Structure formats: structure tokens, C-alpha cells
């Protein structure tokens, strides 16, 4: 009961704060860091394809070296994959406060495009990080939840959808990609017995079974209680939005519970 009331009040406070940011943003009062960079990549890759690389354990069943020359969106601590495989056209996105706090030292060293919400910019020191106006206050009660970025807007607002991969798909839409291949979004989670919990925050004291690397949310790492049903709802909502008329999305992953995008074989994407 306490956490439900606290959550509701927090959402209300966040809504007022975000409304002010939006008003200033649209009036031009608030120009975000690297705002011109964000504007310059609007529709830049029209007609091209990209890969949304989730962090699920099924990634270990795919040959990720095939992605070296592909446009790829990766998330959170997966900058280690970018460095391991030397992806040439990689973008990183983080929207979770706990992740950014735990990884900010490494993230601030990155030399490629990294997208961070404006409410986390106090953790940013690098001039290469691209700030995005990001809304977290949309009500999940709404039948149209979650909203989706308007790719035609000159002042884009990106929206929280229960998973950072939803942020990634919005970035892909903003950048104009016509085809989007999703891998590693398994939507299969378990909370090991070694994990301690306080409210919605979990603290690992052992290996992480939910990601491609056992150390991803391993000992000492914090993460939020996963809600795969909410994540799936966000992905399913894309099929009901106009974005589907000019960006096709496919599931090129192995297994998992992501059932709302047509399945294709990952290796066959590279036959040409």
C-alpha cells in the first residue's frame, strides 16, 4: 500500500516536471546538449535497416560478428559487446537510473553515439553523449500506453515503455530506418534466490541468469523488478501505431516470448 501511494505521487510530481520541460523545449528555451546532433540524424538513414540488440541469453546462440558492418542499437552495459566485436555503426542507449549510476564511469569514456535521457544528464561528463527529452510519466492505465516518438517532429520526445529496447526502436524510427531486426529480446526472467529486494530495486549477490553474460547484473549490481508482460504490451502497441506504415519490424532472435513481430532467420538476413 505504501509503495503504491508513493508510486502514484511520484508519477504526478514527474508529470508536472516533464510538462515544464516540454513547454520550455518547444519554445526553444531549453536547447539540449548536442541538440543539433539529434536534429541532424533525423531521417538520416531512410530506407536502410538496423538491428535492435537486446541483452537476453539467446544472444549466445547467434554469430554476432555478422553485425560488424550493420547499424546496431545496443543497451545499458552492452557497450562491452560493441568493443568485443568492433561494431562500426553502433549506438548505445541507456534510460535506467540504476544502470547509468553503476556504469557512468565507463559510459563517459565511450567514443560513439550514446543516447541518454535529460533527467540523467547530471551523471554525464562526455561531450559525445546525446541528450534526449524523455518522458516517464505516461499513465499505464491508458489504452494507448505507451506513446511513441513523432519521427516528423523537430523537437522529439521519447517515451518510457518498460524496457530500454522500446527507447531503441523509437531512436531507429527517428533516424529513418525502414527495417528493424530485433534479437536478444527474450522476455524470460527469473529472480534468483541470492537476490535481495527493497521495493522495486533488486541487488544481486551472485550470477545473472537473465542476460547473455552472468556478470551483466552480477554480484553488486542493482536492477529493477522485471515485468515482461508490461514490456510485451509496449512492443505490441507498436503494431497499432502509424510507425508500422513506414518501418517494418522483424524478430530475428532465437526462442523467447516476443510474439508480436514476424519471425525471420538471423543468418538468412546476411545471405545477400
Q: What is the overall mean pLDDT for the chain?
A: 89
Top-confidence residue, 23 or 56: 56
pLDDT in tens, 90-126: 999 999 999 999 999 999 999 888 999 988 988 998 8
Pairwise pLDDT comparison (155 vs 52), residue with the higher score: 52
Which long-range CB contacts under 8 A does 203-210 form with residues at least 24 apart? Answer: 209/57, 210/56, 210/57
Instruction: Provide the b/e sequence for 90-115 (b: ≥16 CB within 10 Å).
Output: bbbbbbbebbbebbbeebeebeebbb
Measure the CA–CA gap between 50 and 59, rounded to whole angstroms.
16
pTM of the model: 0.90
pLDDT bin (cut points 50, 70, 90) of residue 6 is very low
Domain ranges of the chain: 43-132+161-189+226-270
For 185-239, the pLDDT digits (tens) are 999 999 999 999 999 999 999 999 999 999 999 999 999 999 999 999 999 999 8
Share of the chain above pLDDT 70, in %: 87
Give the number of other Cβ atoms within 10 Å of residue 121's Cβ. Answer: 15
145 or 16, greater pLDDT: 145
How far is CA 186 from its chain centroid?
Answer: 14
Q: Which fold is adopted by the domain 43-132+161-189+226-270? A: Rossmann fold (3.40.50)
Amino acid at each position: 500500500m505504501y509503495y503504491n501511494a508513493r508510486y502514484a505521487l511520484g508519477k504526478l510530481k514527474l508529470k508536472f516536471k516533464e510538462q515544464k520541460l516540454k513547454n520550455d523545449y518547444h519554445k526553444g528555451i531549453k536547447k539540449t546538449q548536442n541538440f543539433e546532433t539529434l536534429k541532424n540524424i533525423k531521417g538520416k538513414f531512410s530506407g536502410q535497416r538496423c538491428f535492435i540488440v537486446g541483452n537476453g541469453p539467446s544472444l549466445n546462440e547467434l554469430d554476432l560478428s555478422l553485425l560488424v558492418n550493420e547499424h546496431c542499437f545496443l543497451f545499458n552495459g552492452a557497450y562491452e559487446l560493441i568493443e568485443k566485436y568492433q561494431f562500426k555503426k553502433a549506438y548505445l542507449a541507456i534510460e535506467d537510473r540504476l544502470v547509468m549510476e553503476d556504469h557512468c564511469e565507463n559510459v563517459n569514456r565511450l567514443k560513439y553515439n550514446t543516447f541518454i535521457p535529460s533527467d540523467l544528464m547530471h551523471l554525464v561528463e562526455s561531450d559525445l553523449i546525446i541528450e534526449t527529452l524523455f518522458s516517464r510519466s505516461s499513465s499505464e492505465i491508458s489504452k494507448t500506453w505507451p506513446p511513441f516518438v513523432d519521427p516528423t517532429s523537430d523537437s522529439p520526445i521519447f517515451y518510457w515503455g518498460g524496457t530500454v529496447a522500446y527507447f531503441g526502436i523509437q531512436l531507429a524510427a527517428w533516424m529513418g530506418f525502414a527495417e528493424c531486426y530485433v534479437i536478444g529480446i527474450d522476455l524470460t526472467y527469473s529472480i534468483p534466490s541470492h537476490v535481495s529486494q527493497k521495493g522495486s530495486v533488486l541487488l544481486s549477490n551472485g550470477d545473472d541468469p537473465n542476460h547473455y553474460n552472468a556478470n551483466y547484473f552480477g554480484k553488486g549490481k542493482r536492477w529493477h523488478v522485471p515485468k515482461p508482460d508490461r514490456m510485451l504490451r509496449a512492443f505490441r502497441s507498436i503494431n497499432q501505431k502509424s510507425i508500422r506504415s513506414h518501418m517494418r519490424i522483424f524478430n530475428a532472435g532465437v526462442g523467447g516470448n516476443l510474439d508480436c513481430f514476424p519471425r525471420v532467420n538471423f543468418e538468412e538476413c546476411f545471405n545477400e
